[in-house]
Each structure stands twice: as structure tokens, then as C-alpha cells.
Amino acid sequence: MKKVINNPENVVNEMVEGFIAAFGNDYKKVQDTNGVIIKNKPKRVAVVTGGGSGHEPLFIGMVGEGLADGAAIGNVFAAPTPNTVLEVTKELDSGQGVLYVYGNYSGDVLNFDMAAELAELEDITTKTVLVNDDVASATKENAFDRRGIAGDIFAIKIAGAAANDNLTLEEVARITQKAADHTRSIGVALSPSSIPSTGKYTFEIADDEIELGMGIHGEPGVKRTKLQTADELTANMLDYIFDDIELQENDEVCVLVNGLGSTTLMELFIVNRKVAKILSEKGISIYDTDVNSYCTTLEMAGVSITLMKLDDELKKYYNKPANSPYYFKKGRG
């Protein structure tokens, strides 16, 4: 496989250096770590996200106005170290506390929890919202064990808006938890990703096969089938979400059709066309739609679909403006 890299061991450091070289007017690197924060954060609750590299623009690209204030970056498909999370936390805390928002993976949970304990020793209060939106990764009864995928985008968007309203840490955490609880996703993989340090693919799949429900690190899905048409695939994916979250006629949702790395925007729009048609047939209103590649897994081909069910409170914060180099929402409402 061919990649535009130097030493495979330096891909994360050099990625962060390149980000700061591009956007250093508004962002800075936390000294001696792979942490990135915004400059001149207002004195309020801070929102910190993070996770392994290889999912760009998540997490680094979700740092911005009305979004996360900082991101702790780990190696490829590996959690950020507790020290990285702690240093980002210390840089951003202004006395009102810090909310951690990230996907539910054991390594991330372990290291963020360790950082929270270390932060407590520094008299910094933290709270955590785990995003576990992937309906394919555990049963509804065991939803707490589900991993996170593109639902991070909605959770971080809501968290950043709530923090910007100068709410308390408890309130920012409560509203962000509601966003996570109202969000469901499912993905499908058509081809594997690869890890730069090994030069190997993360799994094998035949050219005429797809795996429904596969995770962003190549975790097993729920079904491996022959390649389907975009309409068939979209309908099958939405069925998993509809079976998991109660959606009724006249409910409102936000839609995210997310590419996993090498899927073209043309394909994503074709999927979104069918999503819109199915939701319309069910009488479910689409409040807003985003079609982009936010939560990727290196060059994996595939797509995920995410729905966030809105209520008045979530809509209020979703309507707030947000801006980063890789995510933009104009304020509305």
C-alpha cells in the first residue's frame, strides 16, 4: 500500500505539527504532548474530546468555536495517554470545570478516567459523557457497552453550545448526555483500513462483500453479505436504527451521513437521498442534514448513518453557531 508519510512512527506528531502550521492563528499545541486547544478560551466550562488518530478530522477537527475547546490525540487507533488528557485539561480549566466527551472504547475510558483522577489532585473538577451510539455493537439491553462512532459529532456540537451559554458543568454534562442518549448510528464497511506502522490491512473482506455494523477499528459487525445497491443498503441500515429508538410521525431528527475515508461524496449523497425518502415516508421531519466525512478510519470504504432525535432543548443548542476548520454550522432559530 502507498501512503504519503515519512517515518511511520512519526505520523501523529507530524500531523499535529501540520495542523498547527495551517491554523496556528487560532490554535496551539499543548507543550510536550499531542494536545491541541483553541487560543483565548472564554472563562467558562471547558469541553475536551479525544481519541486515537486515524479518524480525522475527528477529533482535532471538532475543536473550535461552539465545539470542543481542546482535543487529546492518541497514536493511530490508540487512546491518548492520561498525561496528554491531563495537560489539555490543565490548559483549559478556568475554575468552572471540564467536560470530557468521547467515544466509548475501553482504552479511552481507562485513560480519561485516570486523567480525571489526576485532575482532581490539581483541584480541577471533571465530568464525562461517553458516546455509545453504534446500535450494531451491543443489544438495546446492553446499550451501555456500545462503542461510539459518528455520534460524537452531534454530542460535541451540543456540548460546545451549552458551554458557550455559560451553564454549570453539571448542566453542560446533562444536556450533552441527553444528546448522546438521543443519538443512534450504524456503519457498513466495503473495504478495510490500514495501519501505517504495520503497513497491513485491519481485516480481510472479499471484493463482492460488505460487513454491516463494522466498527471504525475493524471490530466485527452484525452481518457480512454480498454487495447491495445503495438503496437496499440504506434501508437495511435504517431498519437497525428504527428498531432501537422510538421515532414517531412528526418527530424531528438531525441526519448525518458520514463517509469512512475513501467513499466519495457522490456515494454519500446517494445514500442521503434514500435516507430522506424513507424518513419522509414515515412522516419523520428532517430538521438538518449533514453529509460529509467526519469520523473516518483511514482509507476504509464505507458509510455510517446517524440520527439524533430532537426535542426543544436539544434544538436550542443545535441551533447555536459552530465553526472550526472542518465543521461549520450557521446559527439558526
Convert the pLDDT of each residue in 266-284 to its tens digit.
Answer: 999 999 999 999 999 999 9
pLDDT of residue 198: 85
pLDDT of residue 168: 98
Ramachandran quadrant class, 58 (left: phi over 0; alpha: psi -120 to 50; beta: rest) = beta
Q: Percent of the chain beyond pLDDT 70?
A: 100
Alpha-carbon span 108 to 319, nearest angstrom? 29
Q: What is the pLDDT of residues 257-268, one digit of tens each?
A: 999 999 999 999
pLDDT band at 199 (very low <50, low <70, confident <90, very high): confident
Alpha-carbon span 12 to 35, nearest angstrom? 11
pLDDT of residue 17: 98
Find out whether 80 and 111 touch, Cβ atoms under 8 Å. Answer: yes
pLDDT band at 118 (very low <50, low <70, confident <90, very high): very high
- Stretch 169-198: mean pLDDT, rounded? 95
Average pLDDT, the chain: 96
Q: What is the pLDDT of residues 203-227, one digit of tens each?
A: 999 999 999 999 998 898 999 999 9
What is the DSSP annotation of 25-71?
TTEEEETTTTEEEESS--SS-EEEEEEEESSTTTTGGGBSBTSBSEE
List the catalytic residues: 55, 217
pLDDT band at 246 (very low <50, low <70, confident <90, very high): very high
pTM of the model: 0.97
Alpha-carbon span 71 to 73, nearest angstrom? 6
Say if residue 194's pLDDT is above 90.
no
Q: Give which of 295, 261, 217 is closest to 60, Cα–Cα.
A: 295
SS3 115: helix
Give CA separation, 40 vs 94, 160, 242, 319, in Å.
11, 15, 42, 23
Say if residue 333's pLDDT is above 80.
no
- Stretch 99-103: mean pLDDT, rounded? 98
